[in-house]
Amino acid sequence: MKAKLGLILLFLACFYIKAQKITPKDNIDDSLEAYLNVLQNTSSQDSLYQKTVDHYLQKAKKEDNYEHLFQAYIYKAIIEKNVAKMHLYADSLFILNKQYPNIANKIKALQIKSTVYYVEKDYPKMLEYELSALKLIEKEKSPYEYYKSIYSIGQVYFYMQQYADAKDNFKDARNYFSAFKDYNNQRGYFNSIRYEALCEYYLQNYQNSYKLIQKALNEVTILKHYANFERGYLELVLGMNLYQQKQYNKSLEQLKAALPTIQKNEDYANESVIYYYTGLNYTAVNNISESIEYFKKVDLLFQQRDYINFEVLPAYNYLVEYFKDVNNTEQQLYYTNRQLLASVHLQKSYKSLSSTLHKKLDIEGLQAEKERLENNLKQKNNRLFVILCIAIPGFLISLYFWIYNNKKKKEYHKQYKASEQQREIDRQTRINLKTVEDDNKKKTIPTKVTKSRSVIVNKDIEQMILNELQKFEEQHLYLESNLDILKLAKRWNTNRTYLSNCINKHKGKTFLDYINSLRINYFMEMIEKNKHWKSYKIKAIAEELGFSGGRNFSDVFIKQMGFPPSYYIQQKEKEK
């Protein structure tokens, strides 16, 4: 709204000053001059402004005062939000001027009508009324009004994207305004040089544009309290030029410096331009994630303000291509739809623009792409449904086994801790037994007959077997594959029964359990002492230990320890 009002006020050369505090209507002088004074010294954003305009119009009608009624219609046309009503008030100016002919008022009526067509974005009609107003202005008698109209015509050409014609108008206006130091002429000068620089930019005369902006920035302090506001707009154009010069970081600095001024002025058209060029800069330096965020802001402004222009429309191309590259069909379709909506909006809003511009919109192509993406997404969703039908049962099964395995792991850990404690106890026991055996060897042991399971074993034979078993353990002979009790009995010149009973009596185990426990103890020792064993496969370990296979080894280990050998290896690796 402020951007629109700024243009209107420039057409009329009515630059609003800072809003002043005013008293309620009941306390002001109830005269047409008093109402006019309030309007001239109050911001259009003030809550009192609209009511004052209405009272001013009613009183001017009641008193049948032509001059004030004419002025009241101008104010109503400016503040009205409904375009049809704006036309009614603008047409009322022509009716009044027919009743009371006045060249100056006719010029104002033509300019107000032009402003209404600007709001409608009917630029050919806007140009028609501006040119009609210009013909009535006598350059020698009213040079300021003349060049103000020249500037306004330049803006119409600018909106129609006829930049060469627009540039000439802005240059003429700039040269005139530069000769005067009053506020209105200074404002006219800086507006003219800024738009002239923009025309040079869009004509790709970047050096000319850059020089004009630098000149304006060097002189902007003469605007005093308005300098910071104007500087923000100049920094925007400078940022655009720096982008074309590939000075991306400097361009980003200028654009970000300009943003607060643009936002404070609620100028969402130029705010959108800042977001677009910021996105371009980040794309150029390969910061794609940041660039996408700024292109999204262009779309967000379109959603919030229902505003988009041709310059920033390519932001959607970047968004669509990005989500295509990351294989996000949903977002690709979403921004294709947004681009289609923006293109249709531009087509409706800028009916009067050239067919060349409308061809750029490619609405049919976007519609076809939208349908293609929708079909792809539908097929993808169908596939996803089938996958889910398969995946959900699979997930539930996996969840069951995960819970089961976690439970088993807890049990394994408990068994592991218990086995480690028992191993430590056994180690201490072996040390103690060794001491006792050494003491016993010093004493004379009388020969006696031992009775076990009704089998009488001579003490000398029993001692021989125990000696062989000690060598058997110390030399790790239990690692021999295909080992059985009969083979050992023959090797030690005894019989199977004697050997079995001796193992039962002194080892407290059957022959098979005895052999297996030795092998498992050896395995656990090697895991602790030899780092290479941790990298062996279970099958290779089983072969080293003399088992018939990996499965046989694992079964034996689980039966004895309560957890698999692989778990033992993992725990030792963690402890390390």
Instruction: Report how far residue 422's alpha carbon sits from residue 481's, in angstroms, rounded to the nearest whole number.
Output: 28
For the record, the structure tokens of 500 come out as 């079995």
Instruction: Report how far residue 575's alpha carbon sits from residue 134's, in angstroms, rounded to the nearest whole number.
Output: 92
Q: Which residues neighbour 152 within 8 Å (Cβ) at sequence distance 6 or greater?
A: 10, 11, 111, 114, 130
Q: Is 480 left (phi over 0), alpha (psi -120 to 50) or beta?
A: beta
Instruction: Report how far residue 297's alpha carbon sits from residue 434's, in angstroms, rounded to the nearest whole number.
Output: 83
Residue 114: C-alpha distances to residues 1, 29, 74, 96 (Å): 17, 34, 12, 17
Residue 168: C-alpha distances to residues 125, 200, 414, 552 (Å): 20, 10, 90, 97
| Residues 507-529, mean pLDDT to the nearest whole number | 90
Q: Is residue 18 predicted with pLDDT exceeding 70?
A: no
Percent pLDDT > 70 in the chain is 88
Instruction: Report how far residue 496's alpha carbon sits from residue 503's, in angstroms, rounded to the nearest whole number.
Output: 11
For the record, the structure tokens of 318 come out as 């970047």
Q: Which residue has the tokens 């677009």?
A: 276
pLDDT class of 15 with cuts at 50, 70, 90: very low
Q: How many CB atoms lie within 10 A of CB 398?
A: 11
Instruction: Report how far residue 513's alpha carbon sits from residue 504's, in angstroms, rounded to the nearest whole number.
Output: 10
Instruction: Express each pLDDT in 144-168 by its tens digit.
Output: 999 999 999 999 999 888 999 999 9
162 three-class SS: coil
The pLDDT value given to residue 21:
35
Tell which wins on pLDDT, 412 or 358. 412
pLDDT class of 26 with cuts at 50, 70, 90: very low
Amino acid symbol at 509: K
Residue 528 and residue 462 in contact, taking contact as beta carbons nearer than 8 Å: no
For the record, the structure tokens of 161 come out as 């994207």
Q: Is residue 541 predicted with pLDDT exceeding 60?
A: yes
| Residues 371-389, mean pLDDT to the nearest whole number | 74
Domain 459-575: which topology? Arc Repressor Mutant, subunit A (1.10.10)
Dihedral over Cα of 281, 283, 285, 290: its sign: positive
Q: Residue 131 belongs to what H/E stretch?
A: helix 123-136
Average pLDDT, the chain: 85
Amino acid symbol at 454: S
Percent pLDDT > 90 in the chain is 51
Residue 314 and residue 277 in contact, taking contact as beta carbons nearer than 8 Å: no
Residue 214 and residue 202 in contact, taking contact as beta carbons nearer than 8 Å: no
Q: How many CB atoms lie within 10 A of CB 33?
A: 9
Amino acid symbol at 560: Q
pLDDT class of 365 with cuts at 50, 70, 90: confident
> What residue segments make up the domains of the chain, in order of their start?
459-575
Instruction: Express each pLDDT in 390-428 by its tens digit.
Output: 778 878 887 877 887 778 778 888 887 887 787 778 777
Instruction: Express each pLDDT in 440-496 by its tens digit.
Output: 555 544 434 344 444 556 788 889 989 989 998 889 998 888 888 999 989 899 888
State the alpha helices, DSSP H only, in 475-510.
Answer: 485-491, 496-507
For the chain, the straight-line distance linking the first and the last C-alpha, in angstroms and rounded, comes to 72
Residue 156 and residue 126 in contact, taking contact as beta carbons nearer than 8 Å: yes
For the record, the structure tokens of 375 come out as 């079909």
Residue 6 and residue 118 in contact, taking contact as beta carbons nearer than 8 Å: no
Instruction: Report how far residue 101's alpha carbon sits from residue 238's, in angstroms, rounded to the nearest whole number.
Output: 47
Instruction: Report how far residue 95's alpha carbon sits from residue 70's, in angstroms, rounded to the nearest whole number.
Output: 10
Q: Is residue 520 predicted with pLDDT exceeding 80?
A: yes
Instruction: Report how far residue 177's alpha carbon sits from residue 185's, in angstroms, rounded to the nearest whole number.
Output: 5
Nearest CA to 524 out of 534, 512, 511 is that of: 534
Q: What is the DSSP letter of 531?
A: G
